[in-house]
Structure 1
Amino acid sequence: MKNKNCYYPLLGFCLTVLLWGCESAQKKDEIVLAETEGIARSLEYVVVKRPSQSQGTLVLKDKDTDEIFRGKKLIQEDSNQDSISYIFPMSINAHQKRTFLVLDSDSGQGQQEETLKITGEHPAMTVENRFFIADFNTSPAKVERGLYPGQLSGIFIKKKHILLKRELNNMHWAPNFQKESEDYKTIGHANVDDAKISQNNSFFLEMVKKGRVKGYEEIDLWEKYKFFAGLPYFLYESTMSFNKEANLFFLRNNEMTMDKLFTHLVYSDSLGKTKEIPLYDDVKMDSLTKAPLADDVKWVGFINKPKGYGLVSLQLDYDNTHINGGESTLYKPHMKITKAGNEGRYWNRRLVHDHNTIVTKGSRYHEKNAYLVLDGLDNLNKQINYFFKAINNPIAIYYSSE
């Protein structure tokens, strides 16, 4: 069953796909981009598909201003595909419509482009944009515990010169699971044999991984990270699919665990209002144990009020539909805020909450989140709601004749 508060953006983020059949593309050489939500987009990425015989550089030229936007070709997973996709950086005002000529090449001056910087070799690498550096490296201590590179271990906020991390662990600690007879494991314990970079250009990086963890072969794991030049967030999508019945003590997702780097929890309540709780007030923290956050809370995060930074998880999709229909096995699902060793704090989504539970074959747990890196807290509620709305409502795109 779909969670009642699921959100379904086209591709789950600011990446709008134009489905362009070969016959139609030959007849139409214009597209219209429309902003329909009343929020200006200083940068958003759109993807245009063109017939496979169009091999040149794809260009969008604004009919009114002559602005030029040049696309980057995306990697085709299937060589037999009859189309080629290009990704474009785009800007648009609130409620604006922009009409573009679609050209195979153009010698005019294009927009200045922001770029991603990749250091190292996949999966032990860093990904850098204007706002942050995401680190996917590991350490000898982690390797001894079976944690492979390729899982997010830390985020360096460039403006604040702050490294978000969890000592001796990966910062991104999800999905994760445990049987009473086995050690606590995460997708970071799945080897990297089936990990790859699926898209890599100066605008956009996509990494995917699938596999199983020793002792938990009943669970087929899949994950995808997506990073963009010039945007202060990254996307993470994961699925846990049970190929056999399993007896689990807990099952969790959307977990970020960090050292003592934050002062407050922030989240959206059921009425859409921003709530704030001190992370180091024992009475307030204990109240969250008695009355935890809903498992489908639309966003949750940590901030440091004196230093002015934060990290917020925006829910884009949360779906626990069993492969045969109905709902996958759950036990007391909720969003948990937890005290950790050395005064660390973490949040996670509890799917099976600390209770031996038979998870049936065919159970499937899927979610997609945007992780927003905040390097300033002015108008916090406005910042979060802007990105939540923009990511969930990408730029509309259609043919000019429609």
Structure 2
Amino acid sequence: MKCFKSAYVILFLGICLVLESGCARRRQEKAAKPGRFVPSSVLLTNFRPWRYYQEVTAVETAGLERKREPVHIYMTFDAEEVTDLSQEVRVAEEVGRRRWKEVPCQIYDEIRRPAALYARIVFLTDMEPGGKKKFRIYWGNPNPPDRLYTGALSTFVSGAAMSVENSFYRVNINVPRLDEYGQPIEESGQIDEIVVKAEEEMVLTSPKGNVHWTPDVCYPATTRTGELVPRWSHIWNWEMPPNMVSFTGAVASGVLRRGDLRNFPDIYTGVSYIFYLEQPYFVMASETRVKRPIRVYALRNGEMVFNSDLFTHLIWQEDEYVKEIGLEEPEEVTEPLAELAPDVPWLAFINKETGLVFAGLNLEYANERSGGPAVTAGPSTLVENKFYIYCHYGITYWTRGLVMGLHRPKPYTLLDVAAGSTYREKVAYLVFVEKEPELAATRIKDYYQKLTHPLQIEFEE
């Protein structure tokens, strides 16, 4: 095992979900104050038709330079002041005394009530280390002109299928294909492949179909002879997500899916993805909720599965060090190659020959039940909250075991999980090309710091 000394200790800090997923969140956003009339004398000509604005200040507190940084703001609008929120909202950046310049923005997650509208606004900005900028969010123009910017974020949506492309990657969800029986693969809405843009495109795939597998559960099924045998139910087993909502735009695109696991309705789960313009990462958030007491062999999340020939090594952050191991199939193929802490700040598969890097930056991780830690009932219960790394059967993958009865003296041990147990995660998946492991680790740590220290938003009274 090889170690590289880090220049600083990575801190694990959670940030709020960017898609509504029913999860508990610590929000930095707050509702805007009631809109105020905008005197025409203080606005640029192109903002005169907008009657209201809310001024906010974005502050960089981590000492890191930001480029095209996504900023999310949650706001409340008086229903009488808005005609079409998604069309009329504009964001402008202060560029001089009484001078404002429009910046790309879009609305998503809009909720309409009789007296008010609630929505999230996302826009992009650059920021110097320790800097701050003022912005105005405008609304109250029933006849807004077309937006004067176009985005390089290309998105195609059809049913549960989606393809999102920016200058760093193309992510394909539900690539049309047939299974081994010649039948169309179900449209589950899980990620099938990731195309990394470089001098030559590199395609991250899995022989199993999907590269993102979880949440999932391994449960006992009874054969005709009465024998108990293990059966898996993955979120990608959905023929079509029971509940799904998506949004697209010039700045960001995303999708949220929710519902009971197929063939195992005692577990309710949801997964969201959000993709950004001009960023080499996308963000995944998931929640798994146990509705009734269950006995299972395994309960997992955080699993990414790839062809074994794509990567040569695993690197990860542990305390103030970056550690490394080679990806080789162990003598006992069913055993994990390595076991890591479930809240490891980040881990990454790398290829030292091609330079391909796929990193998982763990932004949030929580297990709880009714206000406390997730607990289980029964003397046979064993809770194994770990990241397991596997390299076998032509695939290389990591998975977080939430409840794991697969690595015991008995190959499969039934474990009890209490009703109300809830497991949440939020991960940024980062892709790029870099052949030097030290430089790859430095780049991953830089993004981890940015994502765990988002720009702070201050609302002007």
TM-score surpassing 0.5? yes
When structure 1 is superposed on structure 2, of 370-379 and 301-310 the one drifting more is 370-379
Q: Is the 8 A contact 1:207 1:225 kept in 2?
A: yes
Query: Is there any run of 5+ residues in structure 2 with no aligned partner, and where?
Result: 1-10, 20-26, 39-52, 222-229, 377-381, 407-412
Q: Is the 8 A contact 1:172 1:256 kept in 2?
A: yes
1:68-79 aligned at under 5 Å gives the runs: 68-79=102-113
**TM-aligned CA deviation for residue 361 of structure 1:** 1.2
Q: Is the 8 A contact 2:18 2:72 kept in 1?
A: no
Bigger Rg, structure 1 or 2: 2
Specify the alignment match of 2:427 in structure 1: 369
Could you tell me which amino acid in structure 2 is paired with residue 367 of structure 1?
E
Residues in 2 aligned to 1:187 and 1:193: alpha-carbon distance in whole angstroms: 9
Deviations along 1:179-213, one digit per CA (max 9) or x if unpaired, are 13252221111342424233221211121111223
Specify the alignment match of 1:164 in structure 2: 204
**TM-aligned CA deviation for residue 102 of structure 1:** 4.3
**TM-aligned CA deviation for residue 82 of structure 1:** 3.3
SS in 2 for 1:389: helix
**TM-aligned CA deviation for residue 222 of structure 1:** 1.2
**TM-aligned CA deviation for residue 148 of structure 1:** 3.1
Identity %: 23
1:119 to 2:131 alignment: no
Q: 2:357 aligns with which of 310, 319, 341?
A: 310
Specify the alignment match of 1:39 in structure 2: 64
Q: 2:418 aligns with which of 360, 365, 376?
A: 360
Specify the alignment match of 2:369 in structure 1: 322
Q: 2:134 aligns with which of 72, 79, 99?
A: 99
Residues in 1 aligned to 2:254 and 2:72: alpha-carbon distance in whole angstroms: 14
Specify the alignment match of 1:392 in structure 2: 452
Q: Is the 8 A contact 1:277 1:284 kept in 2?
A: no
Q: Is the 8 A contact 1:57 1:70 kept in 2?
A: no
Could you tell me which amino acid in structure 2 is paired with residue 225 of structure 1?
Y
SS in 1 for 2:34: helix
SS in 2 for 1:320: strand
Specify the alignment match of 1:222 in structure 2: 270
1:267 to 2:316 alignment: yes
TM-score of the pair, normalised by structure 1: 0.87
Question: 1:326/1:284 Cα in 2 relative to 1: closer, same or farther (>3 Å)?
Answer: same
Query: Is there any run of 5+ residues in structure 1 with no aligned partner, and where?
Result: none
Question: How large is the RMSD of aligned CA atoms in angstroms?
Answer: 3.1
Q: Is the 8 A contact 2:336 2:389 kept in 1?
A: yes
Question: 1:144/1:249 Cα in 2 relative to 1: closer, same or farther (>3 Å)?
Answer: farther
Alignment size in residue pairs: 391
1:279 to 2:327 alignment: yes
Q: Is the 8 A contact 1:279 1:285 kept in 2?
A: no
Residues in 2 aligned to 1:380 and 1:237: alpha-carbon distance in whole angstroms: 24
When structure 1 is superposed on structure 2, of 136-145 and 52-61 the one drifting more is 136-145
Specify the alignment match of 1:345 in structure 2: 396
Residues in 2 aligned to 1:26 and 1:50: alpha-carbon distance in whole angstroms: 16
Residues in 1 aligned to 2:54 and 2:301: alpha-carbon distance in whole angstroms: 44
TM-score of the pair, normalised by structure 2: 0.76
Could you tell me which amino acid in structure 1 is paired with residue 135 of structure 2?
F
Q: Is the 8 A contact 1:173 1:255 kept in 2?
A: yes
Could you tell me which amino acid in structure 2 is paired with residue 178 of structure 1?
C
Residues in 1 aligned to 2:107 and 2:341: alpha-carbon distance in whole angstroms: 41
**TM-aligned CA deviation for residue 146 of structure 1:** 7.0
Higher strand share: 2
Q: Is the 8 A contact 1:69 1:111 kept in 2?
A: no
